[in-house]
Structure formats: structure tokens, C-alpha cells
Structure 1
Amino acid sequence: MPELPPNVHISSHPCLLAKLSQLRAASANARETKALVHEISTIVGCEALAAGLTVKSGPPAKTPLGYEYTTTTISPSTISLVPILRSGLGMLDAVQNLLPNPVPVHHLGLFREPTTLEPVEYYNNLPYHRPSAGTPSNTPNSECSELAVLLDPVIATGGTCAAAIQTLKEWGVKRVIVIAVLGALPGVVKAAEEWPEGVEIWVAGVDESINDKGMIKPGLGDVGDRLFLTIGK
């Protein structure tokens, strides 16, 4: 496989690779698919957050025995989770469970136009989208998180992921961590090059190509359809 950009990280965790193999199987039903996506997201998310977060000291507290200790929290202090609808919802619980405190969840709805395979945004609930007319481009968005964790199970053509990254960049985040289950090589490269200095992509596995319908080969099929039993819609 050709060399990937330095901001792309493919997991080599043995358990994760075995679970990814199980997820590929057409015989996996919706319940099994949901469980495997959750478990894979937990492992990849743990690796991504270990590299992308740091710790800082908090206020003092006491143990049940009365001993005082210095609390520990994570940095940055403002983080948002951004699942891409629909399939990103299957990853949400896993990453929420990894974080020590609740954080905002902002949904992005994107789909690929069937003919052109270009991304189309149909839903965006970021609290602030773009500066109003006359606002200087360097004015900070006070409602924006320092870090956005983008949840996109499959990066096929890379168009949807790249569009979501651009949206988050325009929103004003300083960094984006993308967590994915599977990517196609050309799509992962496209997404990684959208904002190289601000994006890190963490993925369980990468296949080499896509077919003429923009699906990864051998891939996982349509994860959203598999999760929500809408195959053949």
C-alpha cells in the first residue's frame, strides 16, 4: 500500500483487526453490526484520544479515607463530538463513554449525490455556522469548541469527510480528530489533505480502492443501512 500522509493513523491492535474482519461479514445482523461498530469505535477512539488529549491538574479533593489529592482533568477543556448522520450515530456512545465528562454533540447530515458522488449537506446543528456579513475573518467564534471529534465510520471517496472537516474549520475549531472504522486509500488521503495542519485521522483499517458506485472494496457495505435495517431502500 502506498505511503499515507503523516496525519493518518491505522490501528494495528489485534483485537480490533479481528473485530473488523467480523464486521465485514454479510452474515452479521443489525445487532451484531451495532455491537462491532461500538467495540471498534471504543478501541480506535481510545488510541485517538490518547494521542490527541493531554491532562492538567484540577482543584484539590479528598478520598473516602480523608486523604487530599490533586484532581486530574483533560485538555482542551472545550470538546465537541460531531457524528455524521446516519452511521456516525453508531460510534457516538463509545466515544462519549471514553470521555470523563459530558461534552456537546453537534450533528452533521451529509449524503453523496448518487450520480456525481459529491457531498450534499442537509442538516447542520452547529450553534454558529459562518460569520455574518462584515464580520472580520479573524474574529473568534465564542460558541466554538477548541477540538471537534468527527465520527465517520466509512471514508470512501473522502468527499463527505472532507466537507465536514471544511465545515468545522469554518466554524472555528482549532483541531479536528477524525475517528473512522474503515477507509479507502484515495478517500483517506483526500480527507487528510483537506486541512493537514489541523486534522488527525484515526482508522481501524484501510482498503485500497472503491467501485464505480463509490463503495469501498471489499469494504463493509453501507454501514448506515446495516445499522438501521434499511438495506434495499
Structure 2
Amino acid sequence: MASQSTNNIHISAHPCLRAKLSQLRSASTNAPDTKRLVHDISTIIACEALGDTLSTVETGTDESPLGYQYTTESISPSNISIVPILRSGLSMVDAVQTLLPTPVAVHHLGMYRDKATLSAVEYYNNLPQHSTTDAAGQMDIAIIVDPIVATGSTLCAAIETLKDWGAPRIFCFVVLATEGGLKRAAEVWPEGVDIWVGGVDPETDEKGMIKPGLGDIGDRLFMTVGK
């Protein structure tokens, strides 16, 4: 079984992902290996999610190197955008882009968690201006990528931002979440959001960090631990 699904929450049961997540948890895993493991886990999550939700359509014909005609295919829907949550969400973008057959737009959201309230604060948003007649500003699916969902505040805020912007459907790819944070995010817009997650831990500590968790994944990725 590739994944366990409950309504709009999909928890991977892929054995390779689980083994890589165990490696990622270790305090001895250095920055290059942290980056590699996040990429690998993101690839597995994206494979499961996109394989479960996308389909193919015939787009015409082409010729093979031996001169035989064959029918070409592409994915449907094809109008997809990736929305990384700065800064650690950047580590998941390449994995998703590599899977998709054509380049897609990347729209960044900058958010940080207030240390006192643990609520999300948005400081950057480059979602495009759009209208019903502007095809360049439309998307069929917005894929939010963020490695960690602890309290769920940041992901909830990102979902609300995209919902208000007009995204008709949202996928969220997450490496590790807490039970409470995942449930909270899934309830923001149940009919329009699906969350695909690599693993789930029970709770956070008094500082809002997942336990046992992955530590501050952004600091680990960008070698700013202890700054």
C-alpha cells in the first residue's frame, strides 16, 4: 500500500520514504545530506500525490528514432503552479518540477511564525495579479510545498491566501507534521485541499517544535544552526 488516506489527508506508507525520514531525523545528518533527503522524500510524496490525482490526454502524434509514429500524451490538468513557503519550502521545489513534464510557474510566499503567539505572519507574496480573462494568472492546481507543519498556523495561512486569491484546488506536500497541525490545516477548506505528508508525530513541545521531529529544518538546510 502506497499511502494511508483519511478524507483529504494522505499519509505515505512507502518503505523507502520511512527509511529516509528516519535518516533525516538524526542530529548527525549534515546539511548536504539533509538537502538530499528532503529532495528524495519530496519526490516520493509528489509521485504518490500526482499519480493519484492527474490523468493523461492525447495531444497528437510524433515520430520515434526508428521512424514509427506514436501518439503523444500530456498531463491533465496542465496549468499547475508550485508555491513554496520561504525559506525551507525552496528545498522541495526541484523535486516537484523534475516530475512534471513541462516547466511550471513558482510563486513564493514568505511567512514566519511569531515566537510569542506561534501565529503566522506574511511578509512576502508574489502571487500574480490576475483576472478571468488573463490566462497567465490562472492555475488549475496550486501545490504548496513546506517540509514542516507543527502547529499548522503557517500552512493554514497559506491555504487561506491561495483560497482568497482564487485557486480552485490546492495540494499541500509536507515532509513531517503533527497530528494537531495536520488536522487543523485539513479543516481550513476540506473540499478544495488535499494534504500529502511523509510522516506524522504526535505533538509539539512548549516552543512549538515537533517532537521528536526534525529540528529547525530551515537552519539545517541552510547551515544557520545556532545563529
Give 1:5 deviation, angstroms: 4.6
**Does the CA-based 8 Å contact 1:53-1:75 persist in structure 2?**
yes
1:10 aligns to 2:11 (yes or no) = yes
Secondary structure of 1:60's partner? strand
Secondary structure of 1:127's partner? coil
Partner residue, 1:193: 187
Secondary structure of 2:106's partner? coil
Alignment of 1:79-118 (within 5 A): 79-118=80-119
1:214 aligns to 2:208 (yes or no) = yes
**Does the CA-based 8 Å contact 1:5-1:192 persist in structure 2?**
no
Alignment of 1:117-196 (within 5 A): 117-128=118-129, 142=135, 143-196=137-190
Secondary structure of 2:213's partner? coil
Equivalent residue letter for 1:203: V
Partner residue, 1:231: 225
- Does the C-alpha gap of structure 1 residues 111 and 141 become closer, same or farther in structure 2, counting only changes over 3 Å? farther
- Supply the RMSD in Å over aligned alpha carbons: 1.6
Deviates more, 1:18-27 or 1:120-129: 120-129
Partner Cα separation in structure 2 for residue 192 and residue 5 of structure 1: 10
Partner residue, 2:35: 34
Secondary structure of 1:15's partner? helix
Partner Cα separation in structure 1 for residue 61 and residue 152 of structure 2: 45
Of 199, 210, 223, the match for 1:205: 199
Equivalent residue letter for 1:168: L
Normalising by structure 1, we get a TM-score of: 0.92
Give 1:6 deviation, angstroms: 1.2
Give 1:101 deviation, angstroms: 0.7
Q: How many residues matched?
A: 223
Equivalent residue letter for 2:28: S
Partner Cα separation in structure 1 for residue 71 and residue 114 of structure 2: 52
Moved over 2 A (4+): 139-142
Give 1:4 deviation, angstroms: 8.0
Secondary structure of 2:73's partner? strand
Per-residue Cα deviation, 1:56-79 (whole angstroms, up to 9, x for no partner): 111211111222121110011210
